[in-house]
Amino acid sequence: MRQALSGLKVMDLTTNLPGPYLTWLLAALGADVLKVENPQSCDPARVFESDPDHPFRLFGLVNSYKKSITLNLKHTTAREISHRLVSHCDVFVEGFRPGVMDKLGLGYDAVKSINPRIIYVSLSGFGQSGPYCHKAGHDLNYQALAGSFHSTFATDASPQVPNILFADLGGGSLLGLAGILAAIVQRENTGVGQYIDVSLFDGIFSLNLLGQCNFLDTRVDPNTADSVLWGTQPFYHVYRTQDNRHMALGAVEFKFWKNFCITVGREDLIYRQYDGRSAIDEVSKIIRTRTLSEWSDLFEHVEACVTPILSTEEAIMSKLVKSRLLWVDDGVEKPHPLPPFNLSGSPHPDYSPAPDLGQHNESVLSIIGYSKGEIKEFVRKGII
C-alpha cells in the first residue's frame, strides 16, 4: 500500500532539531527525504552528546527514513549539483538565517526559477523579517519572548527551564508541516509552488493561546490570574502521593469531579470544586494517604480524569504507548519512536536507520546524471 506522501521528493538542508523533525514527519508519511550536509561540518546533532555506546542519540531519532548526501556549497560545482537536485524536488527546506541561502545561490528566487513548482520552506527562529530576524536563539529564547514561558511559573517561584522543546517542535516542526501540506494542496489547484516563512517564535507565540485569552479577558498577567488551567483550583492540580510520587487530577467537568470525590470518600467536597486553596489543601491531605500505585489501581476504571505522572521510561514501557504503536523495541530493530499519527490508508514505513554522512552520494548523484568518474573527482576536490 502506498503511503500518503509517496512520490514526494524533499531536499532537506536543516540541522539540529526543528527542521530534521519536520522532515522526519514527511519521511514517515512516505516522502523521499534527501538530507544535505556539508562534508567538512556535518549536522551538529551527529556528534552532540554522543558517545561510542550511544551514537547519534538525537540525530538517529529524527533522521531515520532519510537518505544522506554531502555538498560543500561554497564550491561552484556543488551549487550546480544542488540546482540539478532542485529540479527534481517538490519541497525544499532550509534552516539558515535570512540571506544565507541567497549568498549560496539557493535562495527562493533562484530555486523558483529552476523549478516553479517548488515549495520552499525557510525555518528560522524569528522569521524572515522584523528586528530579530538575524538574531541567534534557541527554544528557551523563543519561549521567553513569546510570554508562554512566563505563564508557567508562579510569581513567588523561580522559573524552571522547560524540558519539552515546545517552540522547536510545536511552533516550528508541526506548524511547518501544516504549512507544507496546505501548499501541496494549493499547488494541485494552481500548478505552482510558493514560499513558506516558518518562525519558531511566531509558532510558540500563537500556541500561548490560553495566556493571551486570559490577558484579554482580565487585563491581568496570566501567571497571577485566577485561571483554572493554571492549577488554582482543586479539580485541575498536581498532588504528591504517600511515596513522594505525583498524580494529576484533571476533573474539569462537574461529573468527573463528583466521581473523584465519591471515590476518595469525601462527598462533602463535591460542591467545593471552585473553593481554591482551601479545597486544594484538603485534596492534598487525601492524596498523601496512599501511594501512586494504589491511587492508580483505585481509579483505573473510574471516570474522574486521574492519572499518574510517569517518567519517560515508564511512559515508553506503558501499555498505553505499546497499544498505540508509538514505540518499537522488539529486539530486532533498534528501539525507536513511530510516527504519532495513524492513517488507515497510509501504513507506517519500514524502519531504516539514520544514514551515515554522505551514504547515498553515489546513488543519488548517478540518478541525476553524474558518472562514477565525476563523482570520484567531486570527492577528491572536497565538493562532496
18 within 8 A of 173, measured Cβ to Cβ = yes
* Pairing relationship of beta strands 246-250 and 236-240 according to DSSP bridges: antiparallel
Active-site residue among 168, 197, 202, 330? 168
CA distance 50 to 63: 15
**Whose CA is closest to 247, among 261, 236, 232, 263?**
236
Our measurement of the distance from residue 298's CA atom to the centroid of its chain's CA atoms, rounded to an integer in Å, reads 34
Residue at 181: amino acid letter: L
**Whose CA is closest to 46, among 57, 35, 36, 38?**
57
CA distance 181 to 364: 25
Question: Would you call 168 a catalytic residue per the annotation?
Answer: yes
**Whose CA is closest to 276, among 247, 320, 234?**
234
Query: Please, which residues bridge with residue 337 across strands?
Result: 327
CA distance 303 to 256: 6
* Pairing relationship of beta strands 194-199 and 119-124 according to DSSP bridges: parallel
25 within 8 A of 177, measured Cβ to Cβ = yes
Longest dimension (CA), the chain: 83
CA distance 253 to 267: 16
Task: Label residue 16 exposed, middle or buried (CB < 10 Å: 0-12, 13-18, 19+).
Answer: middle
For 56, 150, 228, 240, the CA distances from 158, given in Å and listed in that order, are: 33, 10, 21, 20
Residue at 167: amino acid letter: A
What does DSSP assign to residue 162? -
The catalytic residues are 168
